[in-house]
Amino acid sequence: MLTLVLLLSVVAAMNIDLDIQTTLTTEKASWTLELSRTWDVLGPFPIHAREQHFLSPSFPINISEPLDLEKTYPSAYADNGTVGWSTAEASAEGNLAISFPDIRWSELRATEGWSALQHHAVLHTTLTAYPPIGVTNTAPPRLILQLIQGAYVTILDSKFDSLEAPKTIPPTQDIKLTIDIEAVTPNVHLEPSQNVICDFIDGHAFGDALGVGLHSVGGWWTVLSAKAENFSLELTRKVVLAPSQSRIVPLRVLQTAEYPDSTLNITLVVASNEGREIEVAVTLAVNQLTSDAAFIFASHFAAGVPMIFTAISPISESSGPPILALHGAGVDIVSNSFWAEALPRQQDRWIVAPSGRTAWGLDWHGPSALEAWACVDSLVSILRSSKPSMALEYGTPVLLLGHSNGGQGSWYLASRFPDRVIGVIPQAAYIKSQAYVPLTMSRSAHFIDPAVRAILETSLTPDDNDLFLSNLVDTPILALHGGADDNVPVWHSRETLSVLKTWDSGVNATFREDPGMPHWYPDIMINDRVQSFIDQVFSSQSRAPPNTFTLTVAIPTESGSLHGFTIECLTTPGRLARLTVHVSANGQLQVSSTNVQRFSIASGKWNLSTIVIDNSPLLHIAPDLVTATFERLNRKSWKLADAIEGAGPQPSGRMQSFLTSKAPYHLLVLDGSNTQHLSLALRIAHDLNTYHRLDSEIHVGPTDIAQEGNILVIAHTSDPRLAELLRDQRTPFKIENKHLALREAVFDEPGLGILFLHPHPQDPKGQMLFLLCTDDAGLERAGKLFPIRTGVTVPDWLVISSRADQMGAGGIIGAGVYGNNWSYNDVASWLY
């Protein structure tokens, strides 16, 4: 008998119910599982929405010590300032409701708003695995756990368990946990939920991509080839699966003849590391359409994964700019027709509804933003080949529309890429994440040096929509919001319009508040008011730029141009950059800059015979220059520069940029014998695929670095192979006496987790991310800070100590944003 302890870390969202589903008794591979229906509950503790990436998931418990059910812990939420353990019993069906009725939630919310409902709790129960009867010395089973709405789950040996151990009022925690046993065999099987297939229109695929989900049950497997019955396709690249890894096998459609069948039969040939080849057969259901309003389209996007989106055709033919429609959080545009049916089909305009990579995505930032633009370009491609009369131009501008998180995404895309947007309809939109659920209940804030907090918050700057509204002063906007919205309070839209009008009181922006209406109501999009705005935007001629406008940028590689002006490099990364342009009566351009090192102008839009930058005139600019690039010489002096000067992107300003890669990720585990390092690589690969449909390949031991695709390196700081990778010292990090060092600091104490970005060795537009540790505990601390979602405050580099388990970000001993050319940035760096 193998007795284990399950420790579950959860963070409450809003008013939701808790439903824990468990496999109480199940049998696989002759083992039997029994999960206790009695759960011990500890909490609640104040926490802000992203703080568990810094705190120990078991906070305030130290799981290296025996658990004590009699012990109490400080909590500001309880009347007496302390909380202890209680018990909750699951029903026979496994349902369990967790809440804390003794906490005065209404009073907390009255003073702290929604941030008061963000709380942390720890749940504990016992899992027992029984071996086959009469069998001895059998290997322990491999467990399959599925956790929904929980943050972390830990399995402990029962020797640490000495535990003895809320009833139903909001807020409650909604969790689903299932556990089963997986029979470990050297095999692969299909993962149908990962399949990607487009609609077929008159027997032809509406797209150029297919995808087949595969899972390695055991062993390393390589997909060698693919073929289909009566249909032409090819494997786009070799795909290697690590043990327990799932990947989407990308296939390119090479169709030349009509395919009328309702299923598509594909055979994959895969080989094990030992050379054994097997065939895996898959049948994809084909949705054959003759004509319809909405089509599912599939194409190859970033990181090599086939992705799908919905395209809603116009009633009549058109080749004009389309509408780009961004769904709200958790909306699945593939299995549910809700979003497509909610959009106002147009007489003569296509509507493109991207997936955002997944139903949740990255809040339409980073790879989700790039995918949205790629969907528009993919529609251009398919229309040019299948419907030439309706073909669009590459780089065509769009009218942006979105609801809830998609409304926020509309503000984001429009203000970061203003020249690609001709109008915006944000609906029920929040301003930014830390305004939606404030961070006021932060535990870290009680311990962190204010200078460190400022550096961490530079990671949020690129996502703060209110800081970039200067870019939209001449863009037509219709903002809509229900007056009784209890999800995104209506003040978000009111405040956003207020900030926009502070930049220019005469902006073409209208706010419409529907009294008494909730977060979503059926006619929020399909009504005369919305259609009239759409018609006006599409009927307008191209707008001349205003006499004065300001371009605001935080990360140049994540921003586009405004009226042909593009900021390419900042003087001090980590700070905002702005260009204010004034066009005088005689047409002369007068430009003033803040924190701008280099910018360019699309000359076709402007007369550049004379331009004045920071009161310094630049004369004799060639009239036939397509793009004029200007480089700062000193505080107020500029020169006309060659476009190739300073080639390569500026360091990002935050670690989240690692999630943007033009090819599959490469996860490099330097020490192939370290199972914990390999486990972390597998977990990160799983998260990239699950939350963003980003593909990754795992490499163990020394290997040639890929030419394309961002690279994650997982290693101990004492690994001699690490010194080889850092030998060129392209960043301030280096190896000294077998220890990692940065300037005068040497990182050699136990428990450290270290993350830093690094230039890609071959791709000037790619990145490496080093995830390092001084021991196993440090590895887990670093792993939690891998930037898998928005709102995690991790700049270009960060070093975290064991103190973070109890103090959150107060346990940081170093953090910073690189300067230009990956240099140490004194202004935006901090070392203990």
Question: How confident is the model over 71-112, as pLDDT tens digits?
Answer: 999 999 999 999 999 998 877 776 777 889 999 999 998 888
- pLDDT value, residue 710: 95
- Would you state the pLDDT for residue 23? 39
Instruction: Write the DSSP string, 768-805.
Output: EEEEEESSHHHHHHHHHTS--STT----SEEEE-TTHH
Listed in sequence order, the residues at least 6 apart from 693 whose beta carbon sits closer than 8 Å to its beta carbon are 248, 305, 307, 357, 358
Give 266-318 pLDDT, tens digit per residue: 999 999 999 999 999 999 999 998 777 788 888 887 667 898 999 999 998 77
Top-confidence residue, 415 or 622: 415
Counting Cα atoms < 13 Å in the Cβ hemisphere of 141 gives 26
Range from 9-13, 163-167, 364-368, 566-570 carrying the lowest mean pLDDT: 163-167
Question: pLDDT at position 302, please?
Answer: 67
Confidence class of residue 234 from pLDDT cuts 50, 70 and 90?
very high
What confidence tier does 826 reach under pLDDT thresholds 50, 70, 90?
very high
Q: Are strands 2-11 and 38-46 parallel, antiparallel or unpaired?
A: unpaired
Residue identified by tokens 């090599």 is 304
pLDDT tier at 668 (50, 70, 90 boundaries)? very high
Which long-range CB contacts under 8 A does 73-76 form with residues at least 24 apart?
A: 73/42, 73/45, 75/43, 75/44, 75/45, 75/46, 76/46
Q: Report pLDDT for 701.
A: 87
Per-residue 3-state assignment (H helix, E strand, C coil) for 273-300: CCCCEEEEEEEEECCEECCCCEEEEEEE
690: number of CA atoms within 13 Å, CB side?
12
Is residue 698 a contact partner of residue 789, using CB atoms and an 8 Å limit? no
Q: Tell me, what DSSP letter sits at residue 510?
A: E
pLDDT tier at 703 (50, 70, 90 boundaries)? Answer: confident
User: Does the structure show a pLDDT above 70 at 1?
Assistant: no
- Report the CATH architecture of 186-289: Sandwich (2.60)
Token pair belonging to 580: 């204010």
| pLDDT-above-90 percentage for the chain | 66
User: What pTM was estimated for this model as a whole?
Assistant: 0.91
pLDDT, tens only, 613-648: 999 988 767 767 788 899 999 888 999 887 655 455
CA pair distance 89, 155, nearest whole angstrom: 20
- β-partners of residue 85 are 42
Mean per-residue pLDDT, 741-753: 96
Coil, helix or strand for 560? coil
Look at residue 164 and tell me whether its pLDDT is greater than 70. Answer: no
Q: How far apart are CA 312 and CA 296, in angstroms?
A: 9
Does the structure show a pLDDT above 50 at 542?
Answer: yes
Compute the residue count for the chain.
832
Contacting residues for 92 by C-beta, under 8 A, at least 6 apart: none
CA distance 672 to 295: 45
pLDDT number for residue 620: 66
Examine the pLDDT at 336 and tell me if it is beyond 90: no
- Residues 461 and 652: their CA atoms lie apart, in Å, by 12
What tokens does 98 get? Answer: 């967790």
Q: Which of 249-258, 406-415, 492-501 has the lowest mean pLDDT?
A: 249-258
Is the preceding omega at residue 44 within 30 degrees of 0, hence cis?
yes
- Residues 6 or more apart from 65 whose CB is under 8 A from it? 160
pLDDT category, 395, cuts 50, 70, 90? confident
Q: Where in the chain is the domain with CATH 2.60.40.10?
A: 186-289
pLDDT at 92: 74
Neighbours of 615 (CB within 10 A): 9
CATH fold group of domain 655-831: Chitobiase; domain 2 (3.30.379)
At residue 575, does pLDDT exceed 50? yes
Position 171 scores a pLDDT of: 64
Evaluate the CA torsion angle 363, 366, 367, 373 in order and state its sign. positive
Does the structure show a pLDDT above 60 at 356?
yes
What is residue 175's predicted lDDT score, i.e. its pLDDT? 66
The whole-number pLDDT of residue 548 equals: 95
Look at 91-105, 403-417, 718-732 and tell me which has the smallest mean pLDDT. Answer: 91-105
Q: Assess whether pLDDT exceeds 60 at residue 662.
A: yes
Question: What is the structure's pLDDT at 173?
Answer: 61
Per-residue pLDDT, 644: 59
Q: What is the pLDDT of residue 65?
A: 84
Confidence of residue 133 (pLDDT cuts 50, 70, 90): confident
Query: What is the distance between the alpha carbons of residues 490 and 481, in angstroms, rounded to a whole number?
Result: 6
What is the band of 158 on the pLDDT scale with cuts at 50, 70, 90? low
- C-alpha to C-alpha distance for 83 and 60, rounded to whole angstroms: 11
Query: What pLDDT does 160 receive?
Result: 46
What average pLDDT score do residues 408-417 get?
Answer: 98
Give the per-residue pLDDT at 66.
Answer: 85
Domain with CATH 3.30.379.10 in the chain: 655-831
Distance CA 488, CA 12 (A): 17
Type of residue at 121:
A
H-helix or E-strand containing 435? helix 433-436
- Comparing C-alpha atoms, which of 664, 415, 452 is closest to residue 549? 415
- Give φ, ψ of 604 to 5 degrees: -60, -20
Residue with tokens 């460190």: 452
pLDDT in tens, 470-510: 999 999 999 999 999 999 999 999 999 999 999 999 999 99
Structure letter (DSSP) for residue 207: B
